[in-house]
Copies of this chain bind each other. A is one copy, B any other.
């Protein structure tokens, strides 16, 4: 999950965001330092070459090249591209985060409508929420680098207790060329249907509510996959990324301090203003890159493993320990 800076940013003071600048994790510095170092290296190599190796004629020609490129850097519509691109990517990121799958509602509804404190009732409740978790683990394994590392094979799901051995065998019986994410979900539904048949869910309408909350959870996971199958057309991020990089490649030449140049004012050796520009544009691009695919191992990417643990623990807690622990009815303090 993205680095949390809410507490330090909740009340806006002049120095609120200044402080953020000195963080490292999830910061712009961490995101761009390597690229900046390489860029600066090339800049100084060319700078040294100009200062110590070129003769006067070469310097003149070089100044012409500098003037030529510097004047034409405005051909690059970086600001527009980055503005619209980051807005598009952020909309997508928010959508993905919205459907990533929180078990709370599902578990609470299962605990509400699957009634009884018998062992069988408890098994029903636990099985429904656990089957939902299996699908989430399966989907996250295929999307997220972090989750794939945690569960390299399906066996590991059994070892982690998310899947029982028997369930794993049933799962493996179904073999065909497309995804099998729907299998545990079908189990969850069938189990809830059986609970109704056995009378643990007291009404067809209640059964439907349980099915519906499972469906909502599943639909979110399904769209995670669908959006993974069909990302933004590749040309869009490529073109934006290319623009920014070529801009600064050209800037290595165009922003040299060259006395023979038209735009020359003073030789400060270090390219201050272009460095600032590098930080802003490259950092802005990183915002887009980081949100374009949030399934990796960046500081700001989704913490899939954390979410699986939280979901599993919390939903078992809700359906089992939380069930039937209601305080007795009493008059509250404001009772007149």
Residue tally, chain A, CB below 8 Å to B: 165
| CB nearest to A73 among chain B residues | B273
A34 and B14 contact, CB distance less than 8 A:
yes
A325/B263 contact (C-beta < 8 A), A84-B83, A273-B69 known:
no
For the complex, what is the distance from the CA of A9 to the CA of B240, rounded to whole Å?
14
B86 and A2 contact, CB distance less than 8 A:
no
Contact with B along A288-301 (1 / 0, CB 8 A): 01111101111011
A232 in complex: contacting residue of B2, B11, B28, B292, CB < 8 Å: B2
A329 CB → nearest B CB, Å? 5
A287 and B174 contact, CB distance less than 8 A:
no
Is A276 an interface residue when CB atoms closer than 8 A count as contact? yes
B326 and A187 contact, CB distance less than 8 A:
yes
A245 CB → nearest B CB, Å? 7
User: Which A313-331 residues sit within 8 Å CB-CB of chain B?
Assistant: 313-314, 316-318, 321-322, 324-331
A266/B65 contact (C-beta < 8 A), A174-B322, A242-B279 known:
yes
Interchain residue pairs A-B with the least CB separation, the first 8: A11-B296, A161-B333, A10-B296, A64-B266, A17-B241, A72-B273, A68-B265, A79-B80
